[in-house]
Structure 1
Amino acid sequence: MASTESVPGIHRTGRCHGICVSCRPTWSSLPKLQFKPETASQFGEHSTLGFRVDSHGAIYQREDAHQLVFRAYVPEPDAKVSGAFELKMGNVHPLARLKVDGEGKVSEELVDGLFRQVTGNSGKGTLRLRWVFPKQSQYRFTAIGDTGGDLELAWVLNRSQQLGADFVLHLGDYYYQP
């Protein structure tokens, strides 16, 4: 029988699970757990149209033919835009109001459920777009854990709307990479 004394986590008895005193040095050779994943980008620049969006409270998702797409992760996201732009912001409360500060103007804001489609031009300056969540004395909410990246999230959102929830408190994973 071959000796297992040099194999990390195995004793002569074969019962060690890596937690005994003589095996502790093997734990230090393992990579440390990463509790702070890399930050998702909050900045986007359209590759052909050249406008820029720098957000706070929303992550950049993708570039489409005429727009940049972001997804809010806070109730009141804001974005600084430069140039003639078309921005799609997802996960914005349907009753949130758009506040605009700075030079230039917003031509149009379309509301489609939790999505906002905003077009405009900042001119030579920068426009700040900020969605303000309606202040209330009480809020109704639903809570969910891991959605599994399938139809469960759609069901929860529909049911939350039926129950009159102001927002969904999501306690688990919601983003699954393809």
Structure 2
Amino acid sequence: MAQEINAKPPDPENIITPDIRAHVKATATRMIGHAALQKDDFKDLCQSMYLEIIKNVPNYDATKSGFYTFACLVIKNWRSDFFTKRIAAGHDIPTVPLGSIQSQYEKTTSENSVDDYMRRLDIRTIVNSLPEIPRLVCLGFMAGLGTREISKKLGITRYYVQRVIIPYLQFRFRKENF
């Protein structure tokens, strides 16, 4: 007998297992301190992730993965979308602003800031040395855009971005010891 394509999702009472709860809390903890998120946001972040998991339960297919793996993927996608939307809405800035040598958001407060400043300068140098399409793709990622938005803006296929441009960017940055 063939397996059902859409297997029955877990019991509603058992959807958020202790393992999933621990993963959500770890993800929320890692998000605190980034994008102006503070300790007060911890419970809200956890609740949003729990709701996202519950909302996506109908998409769960037991033939493809275990529920924990599915939940982790849902959390990963939610986290990525969360930061992308905040950047697109102007609430946050990309990790490496490219407008100037030092952006208004960057502060010089310790010796580590010198290392950070040099790292940003190195990244800008590498990005500016890239051919046009890889440079524009890289700038899109740095601005918080996803593969879909970048490919649409540049008029190239997502396949080309994922299978050609991204490996090229990885090669170039590894070559420069990043």
TM, length-normalised to structure 1: 0.21
Greater Rg by CA:
1
Q: As a proportion of its length, which structure holds more helix?
A: 2
Q: As a proportion of its length, which structure holds more strand?
A: 1
Asked which structure has the greater RCO (Cα within 8 Å, sep 6+), the reply is 2
